[in-house]
Each structure stands twice: as C-alpha cells, then as structure tokens.
Amino acid sequence: MKRNNTVMDRVFVALVFVFLYAPIFLLIIFSFNAGNSNTVWRGFSLDWYRELFSDRVIMRSVYTTLLVSILATVIATFAGTFAAIGFYGMRRRKRNVLTTVNNIPMMNADIVTGVAMCLFFVAFFHGWGAFAKWFNGIQALVSLPERLTMGFGTLLIAHITFNIPYVILSVSPKLRQMDKNLVDAAMDLGCTWMQAFWKVILPEIKPGIVSGALTAFTMSIDDFIISYFTAGSSSSTLAMTIYGMTKKRVTPEINAISTILFCTVLLLLVITNIREARQEQLELRRRKLPTATAAEAAQYASRPTSRLPKLLAAGGAAALVLCVTVMAGRNAGKPVVNICSWGEYIDESLIDQFEQKTGIMVNYQTAESNEALYSLLKSGAGDYDVVVPSDYMISQLIEEDMLEELNYDNIPNFGLISDRFKNLPYDPDNKYTVPYTWGTVGIIYNTAMVEEPITSWEVMFSDEYAGSVLMFRNSRDAMACALFYLGYDVNTTDVGQLREAFELLRDAKERGVYQSFVMDEIYGKLEGGNAAIGAYYAGDYLSMVENNPDLAFVIPKEGSNWFVDAMCVLKDAPHKEEAEAWINFIASTDANLANMDYIWYASPNEEALESYPDYYEECYGEELDPEVFEIMAPSQEILDRCQLYLSLPAEIRTLYNDLWTELGI
C-alpha cells in the first residue's frame, strides 16, 4: 500500500525542517560573533561564552530552570503515576469527573492558569499571615513565619501542577491496556499487595511513565507564561530572564546559553537514539534468525555497553546540575537585599563592590516602568526591599502607605545630596526617600534619517516620519508628550484635556505614526537605525550616542518633564537594615561618579556632580564635552522650562489606566 513520497514531497518536508532550524542555527552562529550585534558579523570570538559564565543573573536562572524542571518532573512523574493508578481503580462516573478536572491545566490557556495561581498564592499568603500572627500571639513555643512570598516554592508547585496531567495522560492508556487479571493472578500466587504493584503493574506501565516524564520535562523547560506569574521576584527562570532582556538591550550571552543548551540536548538525544537504534537492530536480527543467534543476541544485549549511555546521560545531567548549583549556591545563607530598579540603570560593578564590602548579597531586578512596578508590588509578584520609583509614583506609594520611613542615621551619605533635591513635592518632609538620579525627557532622533533638526513634540504626532517613530510604553510619559504638544498642564486633572491628549495619541497610532511602543527596547532600535525618532530619557540618549554618533537629543520648545528617581524602602521590608546599607552605599560620591559614568544620568550628589567633568578627564584622558554635560545635568534655565510630574488623584489615575488600555487596543 505504501506509495513513497515524491521528490516534491521530500523537498516540502525538508523546507519545513529548514524553517524550524534556521533561526536556531542563526542564534548559534551569532553566539560566536565578535560584535554585540545579532545581524552584523564582526569576526569570530568566544567572548560571549566567557561573559556568560561570569554573568550571575543568567547562570542563576539557568540553575533555577534546571532545578525546577528536574524536581517538578520527578515529583510529577511519581505523583502522576499513583494518581493514574488511583483513577484506574475508580468507578467510571467518578473517574470521568476527575479526569475532566485533571485536563483543566492542559486545556486552559497558560495565562489563565498562571494568573489564577498567582491570585491563589497571594490570597493564601494573606490568610496565612493573619493565621500566623494569631497563632504566634497565643503561644510562644512555635514561631510561624508571618510573611510568605512567591518564590521557588510557588514556582515548583505551579510546575508540578501543570506537569502531572501529562504524566496521567500517558500512563492511563497503559493501565487500560494491562490485563486486569494479571494483578489478581499475582496475588493468588502469593504476592503481597506491594509486590504485585512492583512486579506486575510497574513493568507493564513503564513505557507510559517514561514518556510521561519526558513530556513533563519538555513542558517545564519550555514554559514561560506560568513561571512568569508564579515565580515572584526572588527566583527567575531562564525564560523570564530572556524576556526581561528583550525589553532592554539583549546581550549575545543569550545566544551563547542557547548554543550550550541546544548542544547538550542534541548530545543526549543522539546518545539515547544510537542506543535505541542498536536495540532495534538486535531485535530485527533476532527475529530473522531465530535459534542460533538468539543466544548471541541475548549476550549482545546484556553487554554492559547498553547501560553505559544511560549512565552517561544521567551522570552528565547530574554533573551539570551540581556544577550550576555550586556556582549559584555559593552565597546561600548570607544576608540579602532585594532591589528593583530600571533596566540599564546601574554600573553593575557597584553591586560586586557592595557585596564585597558588606557581605550582603544583592538580588537586583528590574521593572519596565513605574506603572509596571506598581502592578508588581500590588499583585504580590514583586517582593523587594528597595525600589527606585520616580517622583509621582513615590507620592502615590506614600499615599497608599506602601513605603517605610527611613532611618537616616543609617544613611549618613544622605548629607551629600544637594539641597535642591531634598523635600521635593513628592516627599515634602523627606522621610521616605534618598534621590538616585535626575534628568529630563526629550526627543532622540537620528540626524541621518530626518530632514531637519527636530524642535517640537509635533513630530511625535505628524505623518512626516510615520512608521519610524517610537513612543513610550507607559501611560504617564506617553500622555505627557501629547499634553505638552497641546500646551496643557502636564499634571492636569481636566478630563476633557486628558481625553483630547488621548485622542491625539490614538489618532497618531491609527495613522501608523508609531513603529512601536517601547521602553528600553529603544536602545536597539535607535542605535541600529531601525527607527528615526523616539521620545526617551536624556541619560539613555547619552548611552546610545556612544554606539551611534548620528543620534541627537532635544528638549522640545513646548517644554518637557524633568524627573527625580529616588530610592525607597517598602513597608515591612524584611531586610530593612541591609536596604539602608545599600542606599547609603549608592548615595556615596564614589558610587555616584561610577554610576554617572556608566548610565549617564545626573547625580543628586552635589560633590559627585561637580567633580564629574574632572573624573571623566582622569578616566579617559580627554575633556568631557560641555554639551554632553549640559544634556546630562541641564542648567536651571532649562529645568525651568520643564515640569515635575505630580501625583494625580485616584480617579484620574484610573482614567489614565483605562485610556492606556484603550490605546493599546
């Protein structure tokens, strides 16, 4: 009956494989690129591999991914097998109901599963907190932790939960195929109940268990969405790290880790397949020549080599886990501080310096925007000690009683902060904050791609450069662009004015003015010449212009926003003292100089700001361009043209959220 495939058919199949593998091979090729681009080849190098192994964030997330996948697979395989046996022993009606429930995590959209579990964990932690408080109050023998947060534990629970159904799915058919009398026969012959299970049931369903475990592991490794909602802030899988990175500048270290993962998996598969192929050949031979070679074949099959690949694979996996564990687990047990800041917003060597100086380990995370940070805090997904929100978000957090008052005795370096950055409207008595940086918002454009210098916000709404304009992906900044252009107060609470600004944005979006809405992805897009114009922060412009000298920055004539980002400690933060040590360290003049040099945002530390031009000259042997310094730390004259965002009343904030969601639609 078999009609063989025609040449055309084979070409088609081959093309599909090319489609599946071309992107993977490109990833691999560019992991050896000397430059940091994924599109331009600059020669061979192994730099990214070296960087990868010293990158703690990526290594940690690889470790988390492997650990959670392996643990979840083992537990789910075990639990799933027993559950399948249990289901098998049930009456039909009951079994059908339970099978339906069991199918939910498989059939449900991942995002719903993730969101549901996130809500559940947070609700449970609230309840637990109240219970623990009460329980600790009535007795003194056992002290229950009052504060639980999402982390590795919840991540593992989530993975186990979505893995078990796959195990059940592949074990159940094997159970149904099993001869029902086998177990009875075994027991009649004197097997105990347990023996019957080990000697009869288990061998029968073993293929199902193995394939279930394999599916579970694949699903765990491949998962992103459920992890994203259940991992909290303290643990992050590789996928989450990559997702975080695609929102800013992606380093080719990602290509390097992809290559390593791919090659490891390929190797394991090749080993197991060679083994299977060999066994199959044996089988074939045995069938063809029954008696004479059966003994030979049996001898062949029992050769220890057939075990070797399995052992190799297991040993390799164990070694890998051990290796990563050692690398990631070195610092277990030390005091920690959890920080959430913005992307590209710190000289990372400061983290190492701080850790060496104080012995406190830093868990450094980033959020995308003030609004996203607020969501993380509110939803319980973010569990931080220190956050670095902007002015208006600080007032909102203070208003909602989410910040802890600082003990300024622990932060002597607060004295170095310039007086003009103290007691600002968002924290009038300066009880909660220590400023981190300040700067302005403006328009960044590629001089090679525009006709004449940009001077007005108009360009963000006109058709002139439609398709090459990048707009902010956060409501406050995006609305501000429109409000400035319309000549309204940026802190307006007039619904009519806000609607008008919104219509301006929506209209521009519908006319195709915006190539996309971005936050830190703007780096790649403007540096690579993929977009011509984008509104963003001055400090980031100075970082970008280092990589693409064609870029220019302007504070539009209609005025703009100036902002202060300040470090705060969250209410009931578990590591308040460590948090204050961090804040004090970052407020020092040395740290501020290093940071300014790295991120190009102006420092609120008077001494650091004034000495920066000298510092620059010392470091690079050339004078700092005064124009650059002016963009970084604009004079009062320019600041006078700019406005600080103020906190908005709750109903206006809701309006912002609604309008923002509507704009996205």
Partner 1 sequence: MKNKLSRFAIPYVIWMALFVVAPIILVVIYAFSSAAGGFTLENFGRMGTYAVVFGRSFKLAIIATLICLAIGYPVSYMMSKEGPRFQRIAMVLIMLPMWMNFLLRTYSWMSILENNGLLNQLFQKIGLISLYNSVFGTNIEYFHMINTSGAVVLGMVYNYLPFMILPIYSVIVKLDRSLIEAARDLGANSVNVFRRVILPLSLPGVLSGITMVFVPSVSTFAISKMLGGGTEMLLGDLIEQQFLGGAYNPQVGAAISLVMMVIVVICMVVMNRFGEGEEQAVML
Binding of partner 1 at residue 148 (CB under 8 A)?
no
Among residue numbers 150 through 209, which ones bind partner 1 (CB under 8 A)? 157-158, 161, 164, 183-184, 187, 193
Residue owning tokens 């609305």: 479
CB atoms within 10 A of CB 640: 11
As to burial, measured by CB atoms within 10 angstroms (0-12 exposed, 13-18 middle, 19+ buried), residue 321 is middle
Which of residues 511 and 557 has its CB atom nearest to partner 1 in the complex? 511
Binding of partner 1 at residue 372 (CB under 8 A)?
yes
The helix-helix angle for 238-246 and 56-88 (nearest 10°) equals 130
Which of residues 214 and 554 has its CB atom nearest to partner 1 in the complex? 214
Answer whether 201's CB lies under 8 Å from 183's CB.
yes
Among residue numbers 609 through 638, which ones bind partner 1 (CB under 8 A)? none
* Least CB distance to partner 1 at residue 437 (A): 21
Output the six-digit token pair for 503: 């219509």
Answer whether 223's CB lies under 8 Å from 239's CB.
yes
Among residue numbers 104 through 133, which ones bind partner 1 (CB under 8 A)? 104-105, 107-113, 115-120, 123
Binding of partner 1 at residue 399 (CB under 8 A)?
no
Binding of partner 1 at residue 491 (CB under 8 A)?
no
Binding of partner 1 at residue 379 (CB under 8 A)?
yes
CA pair distance 156, 22, nearest whole angstrom: 33
Binding of partner 1 at residue 271 (CB under 8 A)?
no
* Least CB distance to partner 1 at residue 263 (A): 11
Query: Considering only CA atoms, which of 495, 382, 324, 352 is closest in space to residue 149?
Result: 382
Answer whether 144's CB lies under 8 Å from 188's CB.
no
Binding of partner 1 at residue 141 (CB under 8 A)?
no
Q: Are strands 469-472 and 434-446 parallel, antiparallel or unpaired?
A: unpaired
As to burial, measured by CB atoms within 10 angstroms (0-12 exposed, 13-18 middle, 19+ buried), residue 425 is middle
Output the six-digit token pair for 511: 């006319």
Stretch that binds partner 1, among 313-321, 430-438, 623-631, 651-659 (CB under 8 A): 651-659
* Least CB distance to partner 1 at residue 406 (A): 25
Q: Which of 49, 53, 82, 128 binds partner 1 (CB under 8 A)?
A: 82
Which of residues 521 and 580 has its CB atom nearest to partner 1 in the complex? 521
- Helical ranges in 468-536 per DSSP H: 475-486, 495-510, 522-527
Stretch that binds partner 1, among 293-301, 404-412, 516-524, 548-556 (CB under 8 A): 516-524
- Helical ranges in 55-179 per DSSP H: 56-88, 92-107, 110-138, 152-177
Binding of partner 1 at residue 648 (CB under 8 A)?
no
Binding of partner 1 at residue 465 (CB under 8 A)?
no
Binding of partner 1 at residue 530 (CB under 8 A)?
yes
* Least CB distance to partner 1 at residue 643 (A): 21
CA pair distance 368, 243, nearest whole angstrom: 11
The helix-helix angle for 92-107 and 152-177 (nearest 10°) equals 130
Binding of partner 1 at residue 55 (CB under 8 A)?
no
* Least CB distance to partner 1 at residue 484 (A): 20
Which of residues 200 and 337 has its CB atom nearest to partner 1 in the complex? 200
CA pair distance 596, 539, nearest whole angstrom: 9
Which of residues 148 and 350 has its CB atom nearest to partner 1 in the complex? 148
Residues in the chain: 665
Binding of partner 1 at residue 51 (CB under 8 A)?
no
* Least CB distance to partner 1 at residue 550 (A): 14
Which of residues 2 and 137 has its CB atom nearest to partner 1 in the complex? 2
Q: Which of 144, 185, 277, 619 binds partner 1 (CB under 8 A)?
A: 277
Stretch that binds partner 1, among 221-229, 337-345, 430-438, 564-572 (CB under 8 A): 221-229
Binding of partner 1 at residue 19 (CB under 8 A)?
yes
Which of residues 190 and 333 has its CB atom nearest to partner 1 in the complex? 190
Binding of partner 1 at residue 9 (CB under 8 A)?
yes
Among residue numbers 301 through 360, which ones bind partner 1 (CB under 8 A)? none
Which of residues 235 and 515 has its CB atom nearest to partner 1 in the complex? 515
Binding of partner 1 at residue 33 (CB under 8 A)?
no
Query: Considering only CA atoms, which of 344, 347, 369 is closest in space to residue 250?
Result: 344
Binding of partner 1 at residue 446 (CB under 8 A)?
no
Phi, psi angles (nearest 5°) of residue 642:
-110, 160
CA pair distance 416, 604, nearest whole angstrom: 8
Answer whether 599's CB lies under 8 Å from 523's CB.
no
Binding of partner 1 at residue 474 (CB under 8 A)?
yes
Binding of partner 1 at residue 44 (CB under 8 A)?
no
**The three-state (H, E, C) secondary structure of 391-433, written as one string:** HHHHHHHHHCCCEECCCHHHCHHHHHECHHHCCCCCCCCCCCC
Q: Applying CB under 8 A, what is the total number of residues that bind partner 1?
A: 116
Binding of partner 1 at residue 92 (CB under 8 A)?
no
